[in-house]
Chains A and B, each alone.
Chain A
Amino acid sequence: MQHVIIGAGPAGVIAAETLRKTDPSCSIKLIGDETEPPYSRMALPYYLIDDIDEAGTYLRKSDTHYEDLDIEIIRDRAASVDPDAHTLELESGATVNFDKLLIATGSHPIRPPIPGLDSPGVHSCWTLEDGRNIAQNASKGSDVILMGAGFIGCIILEALAERGVNLTVIEMEDRMVPRMMNQTAGNLIKQWCLDKGVSVLTSTRVEAIEQDAGRLSVKLDNGEQLGADVVISATGVRANTGFLEGSGIETDFGVLVNDRLQSSHPDVYAAGDVCQGRDFSTGEFSVQAIQPTAADHGRIAAMNMCGRDTRHQGSVNMNVLDTMGLVSTSYGLWMGVEGGESAELVDAEGYRYISLQFQDDVLVGAQALGLTNHVGVLRGLIQTKLKLGKWKDHLLHDPTRIMEAYLGATQSIGHNAALL
């Protein structure tokens, strides 16, 4: 059996490893277009602040990891796929045959239609290459403008602030991380950043970027004009599906798949940021573009490619963010559901926040600020659809007692548990 994987990010690598574990004798080719050994984008922020060197971003630490697992790495770029012929073309002109193909090409940053976006000094922060460029130009004391306070933007924000740059964040929505946190929490994060000396402009758009005597000048829709040495664009991502045009493989926001992560062609699968997989909470198919989902996908797609029928129940959308020491998390249907109930506690001065969303007596979503202990149990509660029973009332009364609710609802033990 010949397995080919396009894209050597986390989804591709985990899939390759799972294939090897499940089928010791198959052939595995992992095609990646970046020059470095497979690395993790998530580690870039830590590379930016010199917490780790380049090798620290690598997905696997052993030099011979892929060799040891007999995974062939091909450094090239897939140009097109012919599913029926079971072949794909590489940019170098070579052809690769496959029995089963996994598309794990990830996503790329969106380039908003802003005049001047291709000026030198404007970067994305998506690849190691980008990381190196930013590290070179955004030095201590330089003026940096970050376009976009979404999840990725906020992650880089921390790194930039630690580099000691003068940072201005511009977000067109009315709060920070608008797709991860609600008004209350998003604004608390904003306030926190302001307190730490980062200037944050929400409900503001960049209209144009101009070059101005070796520097950049950023024009805002409020008429203001800001000078900058570096502009970083983090305004969202889009799946890498371009090379599938004409292949017959159906795409929407990403590659369309079924519960086995199989695309419209039975021998082609998709995983990770490029895959429009099932969302656990909504039951709909959507692109999540987060690491744990890429890992889920990679594993499950590989199982199915080996003929092990494995259903993907859907991944819980979840994020954790550290904005200069303020840790925020969000899970599932954090915005709540119609007819559901919710519990909320706000301590604005203390920068603490928790909000839980229930449907009947099941937790379906959550957001928190400043919660670092046992936060994973929120995922457990959501993903197991645990019926909380009386514990829901406890949580409505005091939403901080999540761990107790989880344990209380799952283990009815205690000295006189039978009696209570």
Chain B
Amino acid sequence: MAWANNVLRVNLTEGTTSNEPLNMEWAGLYLGQRGLATKYLAEEIDPKCDALGSGNKLIMTTGPLTGTMASTGGRYSVVTKSPLTGAVACSNSGGFIGAELKAAGYDMIIFEGKSPRPVYLYVENDKVEIAPADEIWGQSVWAADEWLHKKYQDPLLRIAAVGRAAEKGCLYAAVVNDLHRAAGRSGVGTVMASKNLKAVAVRGTKGVGNIKDPGAFMQAVNAGKKVLAENAVTGQGLPTYGTQVLMNVINEVGAMPTRNMREVQFEGASKISAEAMHEPRESDGKPNLVTNAGCFGCTIACGRISTIDRGHFSIENKPQYWGASGGLEYEAAWALGSDTGVDDIDALTYANFICNEDGIDPISFGATVAAAMELYQIGAITKEQTGGVELKFGSAEALAWATEVTCRGEGFGLDLGMGSKRLCEKYGHPDLSMTVKGQEFPAYDPRGIQGMGLTYATSNRGACHLRSYTVSSEVMGVPEKTDPLVTEGKPELVKAFQDATSIVDSSGLCVFTTFAWTLEDIAPQVAAACGGDWTAESMLEAGERIWNLEREFNLAAGLTAADDTLPKRLLTEPAQTGPAKGNVNRLHEMLPKYYEVRGWNEQGVPTDETRQRLSL
């Protein structure tokens, strides 16, 4: 069974909580987490509602394997309507709170309405309390975390919280859990803060026990762990180098978006790469990287724990940042580094710490700073707005300052908190915003990796690499190598990746397992845990169902085929260097075919036949 079969509903307007059984019919169709919570959201809210109004709901959800011993089985997602994109948002995070929530006996928490005053939710097994958060409102995530730990005198309390940025309306604020893991994208933290909900603190001591077939489950789990251990990426690359293993690789392919995506290669890449994180620094002989770290149950352990050079300008007189904390992942290193042209690894690590401390998405933030730097360069933004700061590409000082003001929601930080799209509109150059559906790009330039162009354009939550990571195939050759500069076959590839990822995101597992695992490795674990007929085929079909469900939500929210596009720059300004030199993204060669393989009409709407086939 593996599900807790228990939903916690929290009505913040009334200050009441209630329990209800999980809709098991839906669980059979959507499995859990991303798929199942999206189904709840789609059924319960008006897709046209104001994302920051009390009509929106916020669902914190686990998957059936969350809290079990399945490797990486500690994931949870935050599902809501995004204030950044107006589309469905589903942000996935690791750490420990997801498993804790499951161990407390819940599949998901549905937050409704809006609290009249700042509150936090405390969950200790069956004990559920909505408590005043006045003492932590206006404080960072880290301060809230410490306060709650001390209040309950429990070092093992797991906490997810929003920081000052979310309170001040930053549209890409994250929900940060366990200090430096985050449901990062699409402004799910902004929604949480809009409900006056500061934090969720969970202690679960019941555990997860209702495994359908324990013998088969442990066998599948152990087989899965072995595959991960023996795979070069999940067994060596990720533990040693983290996702940052990609920095030099992607730069060489010529798909490293640089300086607001004007260029596709970054001359400073090696200085901010995984290898650089291992280099002892000159000042104190210590490397940036202290250790790798695993999330709950994860046998890959790609997480980075880093320190900043104590002599670095950013923390010179701030001993609170001298300890170790969450270090640079590839996406953050790219957005804060190459996209802004900054190659100072300590500055990037500092910015990353602050993004965690106050809860913002470093991808959207870095990309927004990059846009602001371009606007500054062309004179659309001046020192008048920045209060005298020279917002130049490559300036580590400007980056550190921008992070601080955005995280605290002060001055020009409020402009940066709007995200790249609204910022560029405000300053009169909408074309300079590198976004899809209002969400900023991640670290793969679609001129150098064609499939990623289609991925971004069709992603249900706006530009995102985690919806279909065709980089796997186009660059790394997993499961099989395709040519990154060719568009043919990419619609099918993108669809396959999108469907598979949807179901992995619904299981409680981490998508990074798929560097080594196929659905053939995952299905036996799900089937043994949940019972029912979960095979690779049925999982893929459920994935497709989930994708279409999200699509329908977005269409109902008012998005159209016109939103399935890329910024003009990527479609018209060719890459200037590297293997992709001379290429633009040829989306038009892929999109119609994509609609076709999806079973959608020319307006990108699922046909009746498709809806029926997927029992929508």
Contacts and interface: CB of A to CB of B under 8 A. Distances in A.
28 contacts: A345-B153, A347-B151, A350-B151, A350-B153, A352-B152, A353-B153, A354-B153, A370-B153, A373-B156, A398-B146, A398-B149, A398-B150, A400-B150, A400-B153, A401-B155, A403-B155, A404-B155, A414-B291, A415-B290, A415-B291, A416-B286, A416-B287, A416-B290, A416-B291, A419-B286, A419-B287, A420-B286, A420-B290
Interface in A218-243: none
B155 A347 contact: no
Contacts of A345: 150, 153
Interface in B95-125: none
A416 B281 CA distance: 14
B277 to A, nearest CB: 12
Interface of B: 146, 149-156, 285-287, 290-291, 324
Interface of A: 345, 347, 350, 352-354, 370-371, 373, 398, 400-401, 403-404, 414-416, 419-420
Contacts of A373: 156
B152 A350 contact: yes
Given A347-B152, A350-B153, 5 more contacts: A401-B155, A403-B155, A416-B287, A416-B291, A419-B285
Closest 8 CB pairs of A and B: A415-B291, A352-B153, A419-B286, A400-B153, A400-B155, A416-B290, A345-B153, A354-B153
Contacts of A404: 155
A398 B150 CA distance: 7
A347 B146 CA distance: 15
A416 B324 CA distance: 11
A347 B157 CA distance: 15
Nearest to B285: A419
Contacts of B154: 400
A415 B292 CA distance: 9
B281 to A, nearest CB: 11
A403 B156 CA distance: 12
A420 B155 CA distance: 23
A416 B151 CA distance: 32
B581 to A, nearest CB: 41
B326 to A, nearest CB: 15
B304 to A, nearest CB: 12
Contacts of A354: 153
Contacts of A401: 155
A346 B149 CA distance: 12
A193 B153 CA distance: 21
A351 to B, nearest CB: 10
A345 B148 CA distance: 12
B308 to A, nearest CB: 13
Contacts of B290: 414-416, 420
B182 to A, nearest CB: 23
A9 to B, nearest CB: 36
Q: Which among B152, B153, B156, B287 has the greatest number of chain A C-beta atoms within 10 A?
A: B153
B307 to A, nearest CB: 8
Contacts of A370: 153
A400 B146 CA distance: 12
A171 B291 CA distance: 55
Contacts of A350: 151-153
Contacts of B146: 398
B122 to A, nearest CB: 9
A354 B150 CA distance: 10
B286 A400 contact: no
Contacts of B291: 414-416
A404 B155 CA distance: 10
B153 A347 contact: yes
A134 B155 CA distance: 42
Contacts of A420: 286, 290, 324
A343 to B, nearest CB: 11
A384 B403 CA distance: 46
B582 to A, nearest CB: 45
Nearest to B131: A349
Contact of B149 (A400, A414, A419): A400
Contacts of B287: 416, 419
Contacts of B152: 347, 350, 352
Nearest to A346: B153
A401 B156 CA distance: 10
Nearest to A414: B291
A95 B293 CA distance: 71
A363 B580 CA distance: 65
Nearest to B307: A420
A416 B305 CA distance: 11
Nearest to B122: A350
A403 B286 CA distance: 27
Nearest to A353: B153
A411 to B, nearest CB: 15
Contacts of B151: 347, 350
B290 to A, nearest CB: 5
Contacts of A415: 290-291
A401 B151 CA distance: 13
Nearest to B286: A419
B332 to A, nearest CB: 21
A315 B388 CA distance: 67
Nearest to A401: B155
A370 B151 CA distance: 13
Q: Which among B146, B154, B156, B287 has the greatest number of chain A C-beta atoms within 10 A?
A: B154
Nearest to A354: B153
Nearest to B146: A398
A342 to B, nearest CB: 16
